[in-house]
Amino acid sequence: MPLPTTSIPAPGLEHLLSLATPADTARGMFFNGLFDATRALGGDEARQKCLAAAGDRKFVDFRSYPVADLLKAIYTAMDVLAPKLGGRDAVLHRLGRRATEDFLHSTVGKTMVALAGNDPHRLLSAFPNACRAALSYGERSIERLGEKQVRMLARRDFLPMLYIEGTLTAVVERSAVPGVQVRGHRISPLDVDYDISWS
């Protein structure tokens, strides 16, 4: 059954920051990937703005850092790159795709791909466990809706919905199936259901 069109507005950065705690963390590889992507898309000045928003420090790939700092960097990248890349939504989707690429090159990501192969269902089924290894917060679960359709339920997830849509799109495209579509439906400020399908 298709998800209804989302009607709950996306929370703004200040709202997200008010909900995050010091225990809510993300691995440094997401920060470094974001900085690299911002430089590739907008140049060194754009990267420096994102780095400053995240606290202007060195990030080690497999250390954990406050997700609040990652959010500040993502929203800064969104504003800096939006005029060049067709708006904030397009930037978020692109950055989410880049996060998947970075993750799949990590040890945990390579293990996930090795176990799942090119089967989209197996890749998506492995996604919640992979998130647990990289993010300290939230819960994600997968429901199989059909031969070519899956729903992911994300609970207490701070990252923007369009960013996660980009992430999931890149995960499924890793299996080389055509016609990948991902559409999120927000049910509360931090809870989103994602319909994922392919042809």
Cβ atoms 175, 122 nearer than 8 A? no
Cβ atoms 67, 54 nearer than 8 A? no
The candidate with the shortest Cα–Cα distance to 65, out of 116, 122, 8, 25, is 25
Q: Among 52-61, 70-79, 125-134, which is the least confidently predicted range? A: 125-134
Sorted by where each begins, the domain ranges of the chain are 13-197
Integer-rounded Cα Rg, in Å, for the chain is 16
The whole model's pTM is what?
0.91
Tell me the C-alpha distance between 93 and 86, whole Å. Answer: 11
- Please, where are the H alpha helices in the chain? 13-19, 28-42, 44-53, 67-85, 88-104, 107-116, 120-134, 161-173
Percentage with pLDDT > 90 across the chain: 77
Q: 13-197: what fold?
A: H-NOX domain (3.90.1520)
Residue 115's pLDDT band (cuts 50, 70, 90) = confident
By residue count, the chain amounts to 199
* Enclosing H/E stretch for 187: strand 181-188
Higher-confidence residue of 4 and 193: namely 193
* Enclosing H/E stretch for 145: strand 139-146
- Average of pLDDT values for 92-104? 89
- Average of pLDDT values for 95-102? 89
